[in-house]
Amino acid sequence: MTIHPKSQSLSHLSLQNKLLNGSKFLVTEALKAIGWLLVVIIGIGLGAFFLLSLGPQVTDLLAQTDKNAWYLSRASGFIAYTLFWFTMVFGLLLGTRLSSQLGRYFTASRLFELHQFTSLVAIGFAGFHALILLADGYLNLSIGQVLTPFGFETDTVGVGLGQLGFWLLFICAMSFYVKSYLGQSVWRLLHFLTFMAYMLISIHLFVVGSDNQALPLLVFYALSQSLVFVLIGYRLWLLNLRQSA
């Protein structure tokens, strides 16, 4: 059977339009991601400037210790976890009856935007949390040890779980920008890695560092993680209801 030349031309034009639209989409989403990461970097810089400008007491404290990088790593790690917790909560609220009861300021589309945004900012702070340790003279780490899971010589398992959790979170966050190419089923499968990332990072919190000995932080970690598990249970209950209906 002979294909009409006009049909071939239309098919070729349609393919060109799809490729062009796909390229525009990738560029737009990449620029958005770069923009948000720049916001994170600028925010960290402004936060450090604000900290140093609080007064001579803070400046003197930083000048008298060689643990500046360690303190900054601890602080940014706490912020990264908190943002990741918000990411989990916003994501779990999507598709539930609870999201419709939050009012017009937290619509499903806004929850999705917050879910996406907080994941990117969490990655920024988590990256800072790890990379700032390169400036710690006591640990004397290499870039490979910082970025490679289980590359630390001390607290290998605890730190390695945190590193692995970071990379899983990174993959999940970046999958937003290639969702149309992955397809809905593959994207959803990748998105389940978020739960694994949260579990690994939660273990990392309790295994590594001295902050986990502070009662207020322990209470915060316990309550925040309990809420996540409650929301996971609620989502599973809703899923079971839909399947049995």
pLDDT digits (tens, 9 = 90+) for 11-64: 555 655 555 555 555 555 555 555 555 555 555 555 555 554 544 544 454 455
> What pLDDT score was predicted for residue 2?
52
> What pLDDT score was predicted for residue 110?
82
Cα separation, 195 vs 45, in Å, equals 30
Tokens of 38: 């720049």
pLDDT in tens, 121-167: 999 999 999 999 998 888 888 899 999 999 887 777 889 999 999 99
pLDDT in tens, 52-97: 454 454 445 445 556 788 888 888 999 999 999 999 999 888 867 6
Average pLDDT over residues 218-242: 87
Cα separation, 122 vs 43, in Å, equals 12
Tokens of 227: 């809420």
Cα separation, 29 vs 24, in Å, equals 9
Average pLDDT over residues 227-244: 85
* Burial class, 95, CB count within 10 angstroms (exposed 0-12 / middle 13-18 / buried 19+): middle
DSSP 139-179: T---HHHHHSTT--SSSHHHHHHHHHHHHHHHHHHHGGGGH
Cα separation, 207 vs 85, in Å, equals 18
> What pLDDT score was predicted for residue 68?
81
Cα separation, 169 vs 57, in Å, equals 37
Cα separation, 197 vs 128, in Å, equals 18
Question: Residue 50, Cβ neighbours under 10 Å: how many?
Answer: 10
DSSP 1: -
**Range with the lowest mean pLDDT among 7-11, 78-82, 169-173?**
7-11
> What pLDDT score was predicted for residue 197?
94
Contact 162, 201 (CB under 8 A): yes
pLDDT in tens, 184-216: 888 888 888 999 999 999 999 888 866 667 788
Radius of gyration of the chain (CA): 22
Can you say how many angstroms the Cα of residue 73 is from the centroid of all Cα atoms in its chain? 17
> What pLDDT score was predicted for residue 239?
79
